[in-house]
Amino acid sequence: MGVEKKTWVDRLSEFAGRRLLTIISKSDSQMVVDVSRAEGNVSRAGDAFSSYNMNDLEQRIADGFEEVNNDLMFPDGTRFYPDKQNGKYGFNTSPTRGADTFSPFKGTVLYLGTVDWTHYLSKTNTYNFSQVIRDAGLDPNDYTADDIFFRPKSTSYKSYTNSNATLTREYTYSNGVITTTAGYVGDMWVLNVTDLCYLVV
């Protein structure tokens, strides 16, 4: 919705600029007066230039920016949130703005594809996105693991006695190839995770 608009209205009076000067004291060199309105019939009071109205304007602008900043998304429908961590500006794929879902701004974001991890107690998975990167006119060698981020799409448990497993993941990146070793802490048998993979270019 953005900034909530307010329709400001003018003050309407019979003699808009007329003022009454009441002499308080005077001397040969100066005169002290009180100034008051002498506008005749006032048909509409209008909106005052007051601290209340100005603070209301400031708040509506702030609320509008807050609403917009929390309703941003990539073309695939993934929401993201402006963020700043460790002195770096960037975006976060979590509304709670956690450190593990933060990516600093470096340019644009390239969607590489969907990856499906199947994790037993420990398993290595390799995905080659070099052609996707080259198709975008980029050199896969120009990027490192710091330029890759994942957004969880779904998680399922094939066989389990406790659904509170914690996924751990370490990955490397070289020439467009992502290799990850992941596991979990818990008493799962098989953990299936589907991620959306992105490259910050």
Give the angle 41-47-50 at the CA atoms, nearest 5°: 120
148-188 tens-digit pLDDT: 888 777 766 555 555 556 666 678 889 999 887 766 555 55
Share of the chain above pLDDT 70, in %: 83
Query: For 58-78, what is the mean pLDDT?
Result: 83
How many separate domains does the chain show?
A: 3
Give a yes or no: residue 2 inside a domain: no
Whether residue 173 is found in the same domain as residue 94 = no
118-127 tens-digit pLDDT: 665 556 778 8
This model's pTM is above 0.75? no
Whether residue 121 is found in the same domain as residue 95 = no
User: Which domain, by its residues, includes 59?
Assistant: 12-69
Of 171, 173, 172, nearest in space to 143 by CA: 173
Helices marked H in 42-197: 51-69, 130-135
Helices marked H in 19-82: 51-69
